Amino acid sequence: MGPMAGPAGTGRVHVITGPGRGKTTSAFGLAMRAAGHGLRVCVVQFMKTGETTGEVLSARKLGDITVEQFGTGRFVGPEGPSEDDRRCASDGLARAKDMLRSGECRLLILDEVNVAVHVGLLKASEVLAVVDLAPEGVEIVLTGRDAPREFLERADYVSVIESLKHPFDQGLEARKGIEW
């Protein structure tokens, strides 16, 4: 095992997808687990900026979890992504590549990258080319709805989060500390 090699069996790819809520929260749970065992964690969030979600706030307090956001702050609607949206996503993927090359993390979470591919900000092949750069022992997590088939085929773990019942269905507002 080389200097970047991790605990036995690390270096796998996870996909967390599906229509239910909790994909990012699940990934941050894994981040906390990894950080608790002394692994350095990096999170690249696509299509998000200025987030004050509980996961981001907690990660920043822990210190072993770096979160960087790459988004315009605008929703990508039916008109499709803007050039700014595409640039932000490309910048995020380039940053992920730098993180892998520099060896600064043992767990890399590409949050909402599945959605970024689904709405046309990135190509699945571009993302997988970065995933394939991961040194031995670096675990990678790809989150978001609508994971592309290529990600599902490449992954070692695939978790699909469903929503059977949610207060949103009755028109209730999201609550600080619970939904965000």
- Greatest C-alpha distance within the chain: 53
Tens of pLDDT, residue by residue over 92-122, are: 999 999 999 999 999 999 999 999 999 999 9
Q: Which residues contact 107 (CB under 8 A, 6 or more apart)?
A: 30, 31, 34, 39, 40, 41, 42, 138, 139, 140, 141
What distances in angstroms separate CA 165 from CA 46, 139, 160, 162, 170, one per listed residue?
27, 32, 15, 9, 10
Tokens of 97: 């590549």
Residue 36 carries which side chain, given as an amino acid letter?
G
Task: Extract the tokens encoding 24.
Answer: 């990012």
Residue 2's pLDDT is 37
Mean pLDDT of 20-37: 95
What are the tens digits of pLDDT across the range 72-88? 888 787 788 899 999 99
**Lowest model confidence (mean pLDDT) among 13-17, 33-37, 78-82, 126-130:** 78-82
13-161: which CATH topology? Rossmann fold (3.40.50)
CB-count exposure of residue 161 (10 Å: 0-12, 13-18, 19+)? middle
* Lookup: tokens for 161: 């989060």
Write down the pLDDT at residue 16. Answer: 98
Match 């907690």 to its residue by tokens. 58
**From the centroid of its chain, how far is CA 113?**
6
What is the residue whose two structure tokens read 């599902």?
A: 152
Judged against a pLDDT cut of 70, whether residue 180 lies above it is answered with no
Chain CA centroid to CA 155, Å: 14
Could you report the per-residue pLDDT of 125-168, keeping only the tens digit for each?
A: 999 999 999 999 999 999 999 999 999 999 999 999 998 887 77
Q: Look at the pTM and tell me if it is higher than 0.85.
A: yes
11 versus 39: which is more confidently predicted? 39
Residue 9 pLDDT level (bands cut at 50, 70, 90): low
Which residue ranges make up each domain of the chain?
Answer: 13-161
E strand or H helix that includes residue 108:
strand 107-111
